[in-house]
Amino acid sequence: MQVLPLAGSHDRQGFDCGRHELNDWLRQVARQHQDKGLSKTFVAIREDEPPRICAYYALTLAELEIRHLPDAWRKKLPRRIPGVRLGRLAVARQYQGKGLGELLLVDALTRACRIYAEAGGIGLFVDALDEQAASYYRRFGFEAAPDNPLLLFLSAQPAGEGRPKGGPA
């Protein structure tokens, strides 16, 4: 598998993850948002079938209120904090349960870490669609916002840099 930026040669119409809202977003919104600079979408493709999208995710820059951070992270930070938002992550039905979601999550976090290193930011935020999706992200160390269990956070900071005492590793 390769993870590449979404391009016009990718078959967005043929993608089906089983969730109408995620299929429609890829088909109808992803390219528009990318062309306008609102977000970037990355697709997992097989090298032997490059147009076919096996999975995708979208990233955008975000600024969130500090109240959305877990308690341990709130000390000595400004009221609004920068980060990267993972707005969508979906895997086509035939690839579900095979680790492709993990691969994309690691790719997204790697990109967020590069952004942090170059421009600053506190971490990766995820808007989970439902409790099942939130549970998936919590397995990887994401923490829910105190006021919204579907908004999750994972630090993009290297170990020891700016991490709160007793905070996530």
Distances 122 to 61, 77, 112, 130, 164 between C-alpha atoms, Å: 11, 10, 9, 24, 12
Q: Is 136 annotated as catalytic?
A: no
Q: Which residues pair with 86 in a beta bridge?
A: 59, 126
CA–CA distance, 47 with 14 (Å, rounded to integer): 17
Count Cβ neighbours within 10 Å for each residue of 26-51 and write b for 16 or more, e otherwise: beeebbebbeeeebbbbbbbeeeeee
Q: How far apart are CA 45 and CA 55, in angstroms?
A: 7
The catalytic site residues sit at 137
